[in-house]
Structures are given as C-alpha cells and as structure tokens.
Amino acid sequence: MVLQRSSPMRLADCLAALAACLLIAGNGGARAADPPAAAPDAARSTTLDPREGELRRHMAELTRAWETGDRALAGRIYADDFIDIALDGARRGKCEVLDFILPAVTPAAQIKFATSGHQFVFPARDVALVTYRNRDCRQRLEGERCFDFMASETFLRRRGQWQLVAGQQSMIPADPATARREVLAIEAVLRAAQLAGNAAIIRALHAENYRLILADGRIIPREKWVADVRTGAWKPDAIAYSEQEVRVSGDTAIVTGIARSDWHDKQGAPQFARERYTDVYAERYGAWRKLSTHLSCLEGGC
C-alpha cells in the first residue's frame, strides 16, 4: 500500500472523522447527537472540557522537558510501556526515548520547539488523542537546522493521571527556497572541511552509501573519500565553486556547478582541475546528507 501525503483539507477531514469516532466511543458506542449551533468564542472558552486543558498542560510540560533536558519531568509523563514510532520509522520504548533528552552543553545547542496553532485535543473517557504540527530547531554542523513535522500522541488515564502511551511523527518537507539555502550551506561547510583536512565533518555530512564518481570513471566510496582527506592524500590548496544551481523535489536536492581545485602533487608542482559536478542530496529525519557526486572534466589534471 502506498501512502500519500494528505493535503490540509484531507487532514482536517480525517481529524473531524477521528473526533466523531472518539465521541461515539465516549458515549458507550451510541452515535453522538448533532452538535449545537456555534457559540461565540467567549462562550466556548467558558465550557472548555477540563480534560483538554489538563492534556494541553502535559504537552507544554513535555515540550519544556525536551528543550531543557529535564528527563525526570518527561519520565513522569511517558508511561512505562510507552512506544514511539520515530521519523526514521524506528520503534522505541520509554528508556530509549529518554536517552535522547540531554542537557544542552551550551545555550546555542539547546533544542527549540515551536508548536503552531494546529494543535487538536480529542478526549473521550479515559483515552485522548493529541495531534499537532511542530518545528524542531537545533544546531548541526551546517548551522541551525529547523524542520517541521506532524505528530500524534495517545494518552490514557490511569489511576486518575494522564500518561502518554504512544506517539508517532511524520516529516513535512521544507519549502524549496529553505532547502536550497540549507544545501548550499552544506556545500560551503564541505568545501571548508576539505581545505582543513577535517575528515570527521566529511563523514558526518555524507550518507553511509555515498559514492564519488571521478571524471575517469573510478568510483570512490565514502570511507575511501574520508580516508583520503584524513591522511592528506587529498589536500587541496584552494577550491572555488561557480555556476551553482540547486533543484529541489520533495526530500531530494540536486546541485550542479563548476568546481576548480588547486593543489600540489608529490613533486611539489602546482596542479589544477576544473570540473563540472553534480551532487545529489536527500533529506533524512531532518538533515540533508550527500548521496553521490559525479565529476566531468573541463580542463586541467582531472
């Protein structure tokens, strides 16, 4: 079965249908009566379901726990049998999730969340569903990286207390303009890493299955590329990019341009290569990573 991303209208329809199902469950299986006529906002605010307010407070506390690294606070909200389906599809229990909550080493490294107004709370007896759109911002090698996702959280009331028993997130692709800026930022970081011989950054920003295809047809896997940077087998004196263009389609980005590299060979003679290149990136779990590079020689010692 192929799942397609819902449009905002389809999402609203699904939420409305889900709310109706929960209301039926809350009435012992009987169909809910037609809703009363809409009341002014002021009147509705005085009849807010107290369970909804309680659940919203729990969500605010959970957000604060993640932002400040307060594992104890989060541990009181997550049930011992909590199960989470993360953005990468992994299934994690409470202890595994709590391991991701760490105090920020510096204020700049703090995770920042911004929950939009698209938050819906559906309580029905002792079960409740909370859905919301969230923005996660954190520091990465290429600078601050923000990504948006939709989340659904299921709560159960046990011994008079609401506990979070299940959660699931789905990534929302970045808009093309933002994606282009992020990918070009990574290109700049990788250029600086080559000049500095920083193999750790090279490894971190390339996917595990990355392949570099040279102009002569040779294929270099990621670990060989990382080793060449670490040992100085590839030690450029200068790298300059021109005619860069980024095309984005969903979670894939293609960068084309011209790269000129200058270096000295083993005999100390200056060398250069001017190559047209194509880089392919994929966004995975909130981060862009390079999948492949293909070079075509224009001039020089390619």
For the chain, domain boundaries: 8-29+49-172, 176-300
pLDDT at 28: 45
Percent of the chain exceeding pLDDT 70 equals 75
> What pLDDT is recorded for position 211?
97
What's the CATH number for 8-29+49-172? 3.10.450.50
Res. 218: pLDDT tops 90? yes
Residue 100 has a pLDDT of 84
Tens of pLDDT, residue by residue over 8-60, are 444 445 444 444 444 444 444 443 444 444 443 434 444 568 889 999 999 99
Question: The whole model's pTM is what?
Answer: 0.58
Tell me the range of 135-139, 175-179, 235-239 where mean pLDDT is highest.
235-239
Q: What residue ranges in 159-269 does DSSP mark as E strands?
A: 161-172, 206-213, 219-221, 238-249, 252-264
What pLDDT, on a 0 to 100 scale, did the predictor assign at position 161?
Answer: 93
Could you write out the DSSP letters of every residue in 207-223? EEEEEEE-TTS-EEEHH
Domain 8-29+49-172 and domain 176-300, same fold? Reply is yes
Q: 84 with 97: CB under 8 angstroms?
A: yes
Q: Which CATH architecture fits 176-300?
A: Roll (3.10)
Q: For residue 34, what pLDDT is reported?
A: 40
- Confidence (pLDDT) at 15: 46
